[in-house]
Structure 1
Amino acid sequence: MPRHSKVPLMEAPDGGWGWMIVLSCFLVTVCTRAVSRCLSIFFVEFQNYFAQDYAMTAWIHSTVDCTTMVFAPVGSIISNRYSTRVAVILGGVLASAGLILSSFATCLEYLYLSLGVLTGCGYALAYSPAISIVGKYFCKRKAMAYGLAMSGSGIGTFVLAPVVQLLIEQYSWRGALLILGGLVANICVCGALLRPLTLIEDLSHSTISNTARRKISEECSYKTHCDDLQLPSRTADSSFIRKERANKQSCSCCPSYKEYPFLLTPDFLVFAASLLFLAYGCSTPFVHLVPYAVSSGVSQQQAAFLMSILGIVDIVGNISFGWLTDRRFLKKYRKYCYILTIGLDGLCSLFIPILRSFPLLVPYAVLYGYFDGAYVALIPVVTSDIAGNAFLPTALGIVYFIHGIPYLIGPPVAGWLVDTTASYTAAFLVSGLSMIVSSMLVISADWISKCRSSVDVQTAVIESEPSAATFQTASLNPI
């Protein structure tokens, strides 16, 4: 593998080794999000084996998702302090160990710790850094790159759903978890391919001195239009970078406010509130679709096939929306595309209680999977537009952290509604309405952002007027 240069680039290369980064992120997404989705296939097996109700069994899946999101900032901190490679490889080790240990479970509480906490921590350390590094390598084709990288969730679900069902039938749920543990260990291989990349934009937001930044910019300017990342070491004096990084690491061993300047802006706060409703709404169908289909008279194989359909259409949503929103005529409206897909996803969930056969559930899986893939691919892009590309790693850590609490309480609350009402109607209605509320909040966040921009423009004009008047006075009354 080529040695990465310590000389920062003026802009993202939009290709080259970036495609290997996309491939690595794709495989990390398969081993994290796709495997996490397929855990719902174990739902009935765990319920029957441990003789527990829906609510208690649903805590397993919700604990995995919650831990993955709550510890996402830890993955961002490790990635910023050390490297993306260290974070992803460490996450792969923890996630694989959690799945392997879960195959020896004797009670649900054991699975809460091994499958929920340990595997979830591994996913947290691997997923967020792998997603954020894609944004470093791409600028003009960022949405397309994210669409390809995050399509691993859909492709993995499509392939793994029937495979996991077959593994359960052949080797029981214990053997299936053991094999999944070996599969997830490949995250470590993907982490080794994630070569760090430094951009001038990153240094402009750091504590590096103006002299060092100016020298770096002058010596790297000729590489602006070059796609080759393997720069000769003699092209720039990297002592400036080493000295500034050493000073930064010596004086800071924990996160500072300079890494989170976007956190208290009004548009990001409203966007964060919308993510709470989004995370609650989207977690219910993936956990309860298979049990709902089985309770409606659909066979276990057909119910697992619904997850495969959802997964393969998810791929189409990832890639097609990534490609479309990179086009010039839609680039300015990416946030509105994000709003539309979330609202339509919620609308689909409102109709699921009347779909009680396999032929009727197939269109639901198609529509829900497509819109889910579309907005999932746009989450990093919208986050980058709101927080700024330089703060994308830390912003994504916060975004996924916000998903944590809804992911924890969503499936158990839906399971409690099923146990209380003896029906899935209330669970899916609450899920659909929650996603619709999320889309409405994003609209208000966009309105707040526009108001801030107009206020900033007016303030700049007002501040410039006194200086102009002073200049005129000085010109008329020379000393």
Structure 2
Amino acid sequence: MARRAEPPDGGWGWMVVLSAFFQSALVFGVLRSFGVFFVELVAAFQEQAARVSWIASIGIAVQQFGSPVGSALSTKYGPRPVVMAGGILAASGMLLASFATSVTHLYLSIGLLSGSGWALTFTPTLACLSRYFSRRRSLATGLALTGVGLSSFAFAPLFQWLVSRYAWRGALLLVSALSLHLVACGALLRPLSLTEDPAVGGPGAQLSSLLRHGPFLRYTVALTLINTGYFIPYVHLMAHLQDLDWEPLSAAFLLSVVAVSDLVGRVASGWLGDTAPGPVARLLMLWTALTGVSLALFPVARTPTALMVLAVAYGFTSGALTPVAFSVLPELVGTGRIYCGLGLVQMVESIGGLLGAPLSGYLRDTTGNYTASFVVAGAFLLVGSGILITLPHVFCFSASASKPQDPKMDAVDTQVSLTKEGLQED
């Protein structure tokens, strides 16, 4: 395969964007709409909220903790067969979940099996997309991740209707059929070979460099904290609204409002990430702080109007932080290390995904309401935003600071500068 000197910033890359669009919809759109099943499963198995919350948390954690496996397999075999295999695993997990007789069965089917499938799909697809784009990376990532917002808008009321029509077992069976479309998403991926790839070394050399890179390590810690609070509304907002005596369909509609706002936020942030002066990390810091504030204010809102305003604010800002979060990483570590870097970040931040929802459920069981759950979730994001301030050039307004590394830069020089910068930052 011929090696390209730089990412094409288009061409087949737009088909990769299309693949990532549907793939993100079928992974995180399902996870974000899991609140519909959460209420049903608590009632069906007569379990506490904290224990049922582990289903989604295990799925998120396995998806992220297993990301280095997906990255390593993609480096060896290419992203296409890896993502296709992940689609089969994700669909199989949902299929088995429809026959579950205990919450433990759901831990194994949705949490472990589907989570493993998601681990083989999400990170390789996003890493492949990052290699196809440079100047338009934030916009391409934002467009790809709009699949999350659109699917959340559609899936929340759809799943609620399916549950009311076919019960939760039949609904999960149909979700399994939807998940099988991940195989088609994987078939669209075409690996891209860049001239810098041989010089960056194998996974061991890349890992050694990254573990000595101060900004990369701080960025990873920040995303872990963000991840701890980020998913709380998608697991517990519906239950919180039912505590306020909302009807299930009305609560599902509010989740759809969040999803539409999320969609707008992703596109707007992707455009700003490629056009606004200064580094993308500054935008990530801003959106993270605003998301944390909106989360902490949810318990204060009691009227439908106030909840609607907060839903719009949370949806927009939480959607806006996602594409720039993925765009910051190539600027920190270079395109040649994106598979290894993204896999490592996803693995570490799985700690937040694993603990976030159960902690929120525990606070609900202890206090009797979700006030502490949302306040603590917001606090995690605010602390993460504070750590992002320490990244290089966050307060630099020069045009050069806003651009990613030159893809034509010799990869050996990039390796040396990356290691030196990490040692100096430490």
The normalised TM-score by structure 1 is 0.81
Match of 1:231 in 2: none
Is contact 1:260-1:395 (8 Å) kept? Answer: no
1:257 is aligned to 2:202 = no
Q: Quick one: which amino acid aligns to residue 199 of structure 1? A: L
Mapped contact 1:150–1:318 kept (Cα < 8 A): yes
The equivalent of 2:55 in structure 1 is 60
Q: Which residue of the other structure, out of 286, 290, 296, is the alignment partner of 1:344? A: 290
Does structure 2 conserve the Cα–Cα contact (< 8 Å) formed by 1:267 and 1:448? Answer: no
Contact 1:276–1:402 (Cα < 8 Å) also in 2: yes
> Which position in structure 1 is the counterpart of 2:248?
300
What CA RMSD, in Å, does the superposition of the two structures yield over aligned residues? 2.0
Aligned to 1:151: 146
3-state SS of paired residue (2:211):
coil
Larger Rg: 1
Separation in 2 of the partners of 1:404 and 1:299? 33
Of all paired residues, the percent bearing the same amino acid is 36
> Is the CA contact (8 Å cut-off) linking 2:221 and 2:349 kept in structure 1?
no
Counting only pairs closer than 5 Å after superposition, residues 62-101 of structure 1 correspond to structure 2 as 62-101=57-96
Could you tell me which runs of 5 or more consecutive residues in structure 2 were left unpaired when the two chains were aligned: 397-416
Structure 2 equivalent of residue 371 of structure 1: 317
Look up the SS of the partner of 1:446 in the other structure.
coil
For the Cα contact (< 8 Å) 1:165–1:301, is it kept in 2? yes
Give the counterpart of 1:281 among 229, 235, 254.
229
CA deviation map 1:397-447 (0-9, x unaligned): 111112211111111111111111112111111111110000000112336
Partner of 1:118: 113
Distance 1:353 1:322 in 2: 30
- State the distance in 1 between where 2:220 and 2:321 align: 15
How much does 1:85 deviate? 0.6
One-letter amino acid matched to 1:364: L
The answer to whether the aligner puts 1:106 opposite 2:101 as a matched pair is: yes
Secondary structure of 1:316's aligned partner:
helix
Where structure 1 has 5 or more consecutive residues not aligned to the other structure, the ranges are 1-5, 208-254, 460-479
Q: CA deviation at 1:203?
A: 2.9
Aligned pair in 2 of structure 1 residues 300, 262: CA closer, same or farther (>3 Å)? same
1:38-80 Cα shifts (integer Å, max 9, x gaps): 1121011000000011111111111111111110111101101
**Count of residues paired in the alignment:** 402
Q: How far apart, in 2, do the equivalents of 1:263 and 1:40 lie?
A: 36
Following TM superposition, where does structure 1 have runs of at least 4 consecutive aligned residues deviating by more than 6 angstroms? 447-450
Aligned partners of 2:267 and 2:198: how far apart in 1?
A: 32
**TM-fit CA distance, 1:263:** 2.4
Shift of 1:319: 0.8
Q: Output one character per residue of 1:375-396: Cα deviation in whole Å (capped at 9) or x when no partner.
A: 1111111111111111111111
**Residues 37, 168 of structure 2: 8 Å contact kept:** yes
What amino acid is aligned across from residue 430 of structure 1 in structure 2? V
Alpha-carbon distance in structure 2 between the residues aligned to 1:420 and 1:297: 20
SS in structure 2 of the partner of residue 180 of structure 1: helix
For 2:38, the equivalent position in structure 1 comes to 43
1:173 to 168, 173, 180: 168
Aligned residue type for 1:160: F
- What CA distance in whole angstroms lies between the structure 1 residues aligned with 2:132 and 2:213? 26
Contact 2:227–2:353, Cα closer than 8 Å, also in 1: yes
TM-score (norm. length: structure 2): 0.91
Find the aligned partners of 1:122 and 1:321 in 2 and give their Cα distance. Answer: 28
